Amino acid sequence: MTATVGRQDGAAAPASIDKTSPVPYYQQLKEILRADIARRELRPGARLPGDHELIEQYGVSRPVVRQALSELQYEGVLDRVKGRGTFVAPQLTSQSLVQSLTGLHADVLAMGRTLRSDVRSLKVVAADPEVAARLEIPVGTAVVLTERLRFVDGEPWVYAVSHVPAALAPDLVDQDLSEQSLYALLERRYGLRLVRSRRAVAAHAPSARLARDLGIPRHGPVLKLTDVSYDADNRPVETFVAYHRGDRSRFEVELERAPGGRAVPPLVRVL
């Protein structure tokens, strides 16, 4: 049977399910839909045909359609909204988690997208025990606190809370961080060249305020990213905790197999 995805606009090219192929029907349908979205350059929010229409178009069963759509949803290609339909999902913002020391600013600009920050707080405070431990400084040491709600292409994406020892960046509180990278500013203005960092990612249950700021449901998915960055002298110079929308962010990790396949002891922290 030959059919088209979104044929109601008359613009789609024909696509078919090959019923003689050993490839499962759901896998074929999944790739047809993915290719059609790319070919037609459908933007986030574009609506796809409903389940019943796809069943008729491709001559397949409801379980086949549901499995194809569910996998595309899992892969971040589609959003399925109960009672409303199936839509092209917003593009995820990828961040390099391990292989390079970059911030959201650099990652977003590299993809040709826009980033701006709503600076909620920029002031000098006393380091609490947790921040002091991460920065390896005495409790009560003066640090510059920065809180920013960050927007990618105008949509709230991440709420970030950063701390820098005030002695290392004396006039940081006077800087405009609404559209520039904190990492770049630390290096350019204060000569703090960041060479490595330690990052951890954990699932997080958002507070009502955080959910509201990020524009997600009260119990929506949030990824909590904790980071400490070090200079060439192995001195901690900045730490942050960032709360990323789980439905808009993706962290990428590059893995290498150890010589001979030997196991490398993992760093595990039980919370």
Is there a domain that residue 262 lies in?
Answer: no
Number of structural domains the chain divides into: 2
* H-helix segments, 10-142: 25-39, 51-58, 62-74, 104-110, 129-135
CA distances from 129 to 1, 138, 244 (A): 66, 8, 24
Mean pLDDT confidence for 230-250: 88
Collapsing DSSP to helix, strand or coil, 55 comes out as: helix
Mark whether 84 and 102 lie in a shared domain.
no
Mark whether 153 and 83 lie in a shared domain.
no
**Burial classification of residue 95, based on how many CB atoms lie within 10 Å of its CB (0-12 exposed, 13-18 middle, 19 or more buried):** buried
Is there a domain that residue 271 lies in?
Answer: no
Domain of residue 73: give its range.
Answer: 2-88
Strands 249-252 and 93-96: parallel
Compute the distance between CA of residue 254 and CA of residue 99 in angstroms, rounded to an integer.
Answer: 6
pLDDT for 8 equals 43
Confidence of residue 209 (pLDDT cuts 50, 70, 90): very high
Mark whether 69 and 152 lie in a shared domain.
no
pLDDT for 252 equals 64
Mean pLDDT confidence for 238-243: 94
Mark whether 120 and 199 lie in a shared domain.
yes
Mark whether 100 and 63 lie in a shared domain.
no
Mark whether 112 and 76 lie in a shared domain.
no
Mark whether 65 and 97 lie in a shared domain.
no
Is there a domain that residue 261 lies in?
Answer: no
pLDDT tens digits for range 14-44: 478 898 888 899 999 999 998 888 888 888 8
CATH of the domain at 132: 3.40.1410.10
Note the maximum CA span of the chain.
Answer: 71
248, two tokens = 């808009």
pLDDT of 61 higher than 80: yes
The one-letter amino acid code at 158 reads V
Of 88, 123, 153, which residue is a domain's last? Answer: 88
Is there a domain that residue 265 lies in?
Answer: no
Task: For residue 186, list its beta bridge partners.
Answer: none
End-to-end CA distance of the chain: 54
Tell me which residue of 43, 122, 126 sits closest to 87, measured CA to CA. Answer: 43
pLDDT tens digits for range 116-160: 889 999 999 999 999 999 999 999 999 999 999 999 888 898 999
